[in-house]
Amino acid sequence: MDFIKQAFNYKHDFWRYLVGSLIIAVLSTIGQIPFTIAALFKYIAEGGVLTNMNETVLMTILDENLSLFLLLLTFVFGFIGLIIAVKKMHGQSLKSVTTTRSKIDWKRVCFSFVFWGLITVVMLFIDYYASPDNYVLNFELERFLILAVIAILLIPIQTSLEEYIFRGYLMQGFGVVTTNKAFPFGFIFTILIIPILSYAIIAYGLDVWESIGLLAVIMFIAKLVFKAIKVKGGLNSSLNLKLHNSLRKKWVPLLITSVIFGGMHVFNPEVGKLGYGVMVYYIGTGLFLGVITLMDDGMELALGFHAANNLFGALLVTADWTVLRTHSVFKDISEPGEGFGDIIIPVFVVFPILLFIFAKVYKWTNWKDKLFGKIEEPVENDYTILD
């Protein structure tokens, strides 16, 4: 059984994935409270006025190590939410969300971690010696040691949570829902509504609650339209059945989770500094991690890669415009730009090379079926997805 189809062995009604995602979001939000309280207390103690408080002040007022610790604490709460969702909503083990193997292959995790970690270190020092004026030495032993403890303990939790959500939980969840005849309607509706909603938020400067309100109105209208289609037998029409058959493919959950993964980074300060073109990198990274998960029938390689990427990045180099500012070894003082080297090379050169190397090491075959094969629900399955 492959990675996505494994979910059919458990309670996999799609509403469970929606509730499970809500549980993770609520726990993550609760995890943000310590950071917010600490930042507000310091701001007020220094004579700040709450009406002048903004996101920039909130993210920079605390010491980098304390800020990093409290921000990463959010992911600890989120991981607890993930465990609750997987076990209580689906009756599923965390191992079955991780891999199809009899147990998690930690050798794969370590190989990917060490391999990408070494490449990250080499690439940084090549850039440092090629453009030394872009960096300043930021090393302070005591602060660095504190950073190392925080980063080593908590960054793997942060990266693992993201992988479990996008390459595990939601990859399987969206794979399951493709077997529902109502899926084509939802898929097409989502494709149409995302650019409309994005334009409205950007053009009219909608805040979070206004955006949620607009989305709620759109979803209500969509529900009415869907009911009308269902009553008229539209789900059994030849057009819908053809679309349904075309979309019951593994590339669909791969694409959806990669776009959502990229979209979750849209509010990062890097996007404001580099422009929306950097979303190509985030979505491309999601696709790369999704591909190695599907090809390897497990997310061990993705877990190792993501942990190495963030951990070595946090320890080695920081910048004032990144989401995680740290007491790292170096500080990048160059003016960032949305350039060829920052986006095109990683996505279209480095990641394909890594795919080739992983494929050779782990002897991947049958790429067509692994990435584009049809998702079939096992006949003996006891659970059904609700229309």
State pLDDT tens for residues 44-71. 888 877 777 777 777 788 899 999 999 9
3-state secondary structure of 198: helix
Is 321 among the domain residues?
Answer: yes
pLDDT above 90 covers a percentage of the chain that reads: 62
Q: Give the best-scoring range by mean pLDDT among 128-142, 231-245, 327-341.
A: 128-142
Domain region containing 316: 95-179+248-372
Higher-pLDDT residue of 167, 60: 167
Is 58 among the domain residues?
Answer: no
CA dihedral sign, ordered 160, 165, 169, 174 = negative
Higher-pLDDT residue of 83, 340: 83
Q: What average pLDDT score do residues 184-203 get? A: 79
Domain count, the chain: 1
Is 123 among the domain residues?
Answer: yes
Q: What average pLDDT score do residues 188-215 get? A: 75
Residue 339 scores a pLDDT above 70: no
Is 295 among the domain residues?
Answer: yes
| Beta strand pairing call for 317-318 and 330-332 | parallel
Whole-number pLDDT of residue 340 = 53
CB 378 within 8 A of CB 8: yes
What is the rounded average pLDDT for all residues in the chain? 89
Beta strands in the chain (DSSP E): 135-137, 317-318, 330-332
Is 270 among the domain residues?
Answer: yes
Alpha-carbon distance of 199 to 24, in angstroms, equals 27
Whole-number pLDDT of residue 384 = 44
| Torsion of Cα atoms, 103 then 107 then 110 then 115, to 10° | -130
Is 343 among the domain residues?
Answer: yes
Is 114 among the domain residues?
Answer: yes
Is 100 among the domain residues?
Answer: yes
Q: How far is CA 83 from CA 76, 86, 87, 385, in A?
A: 11, 5, 6, 22
